[in-house]
Amino acid sequence: MKKIHIPDILLQVVLIAFAVIQLYPLVFLFFFSLKDNNEIYGGNVMGLPRQFKWSNYENALFNANVGNYLLNSIFVTLVVILISGVLACMVSYAIARMTVKINGFVKTFFSLGLMIPLHAVLLPVFIMLKNLKMLDTYQAIIIPYIAFALPMAIFFMIGFFQTLPRELEESAFLDGCSIYRTFFYIMLPLVKPALATISVFTFLSTWNEMMFAITFINSEKYRTLTVGIMQMVGKYTTDWGTMGAGLMVATVPTIVIYLLFSKQVQSGMVSGAVKG
């Protein structure tokens, strides 16, 4: 007879309970987004909707302009991920693989960026953007987002590049490859798990950021999703169902990104732990 291991059963129970606790807020938000104010104020906050109000999503996307905010957030996030990822890989490769006197200084310079809190630079960045006449534009949030994404990305990527054998580059150079061809066609494909990991972290920090977005952007044209949903709170009344639909719209891309890149992120984190 097959033996039953009590510790394994307890572990499964604990993991299932933990999964339910983690998933419940998402399920609650979904049902909340399908209710109206009368049902919410009537006491049915936690239960199933008596009538599924799919019109809340229509109101959120079109009447509350959440669709435009969503497109703005997608555009800003994709630009930040692309530019910060390319710059981080190039800087990390130069620091990890090239013998230059200022490598230590450059690495320290970017590492110091991990210690600077966002709120400490809010006023200086605002004044700089104002002097450059860049306030209330896409650049007003894209450039600071890239600047804050680079330190963590560079610090993470340096460790991966340092573990790659130098024989790969030497073989490429002997075959006539330039340093740029070696970087893009040989070295960069080897750090795809690390690149996916920093891309997910950059996505989360950029997608959920609100302090810079609410300070540097005033026009509804450039407003991102987090700020747009916050503006849905009325002075005297709030359509909570529509707001819940907006929050659900903001949550779905995060879930999709996790499902698409979860294996790469896990591979990158495990590889980094083993190589470290």
* Domain limits, the chain: 64-275
DSSP 8-state assignment for residue 87: H
Query: pLDDT of 219-248, one tens digit each?
Result: 889 999 999 988 888 766 788 889 999 999
The DSSP secondary structure of 152-168, one letter per residue, reads HHHHHHHHHHHHS-THH
Q: pLDDT at position 273, please?
A: 44
pTM of the predicted model as reported, rounded to 2 decimal places: 0.85
Return all residues near 74 (Cβ < 8 A) that are at least 6 apart. 253
Specify the pLDDT at position 234. Answer: 74
Give every residue of the chain whose pLDDT is below 50, as ranges.
Answer: 1, 272-276
User: 265, 56, 91, 261: which is closest to 161 by C-alpha?
Assistant: 91
Q: Identify the pLDDT of residue 105.
A: 85
- What fold, for 64-275? MetI-like fold (1.10.3720)
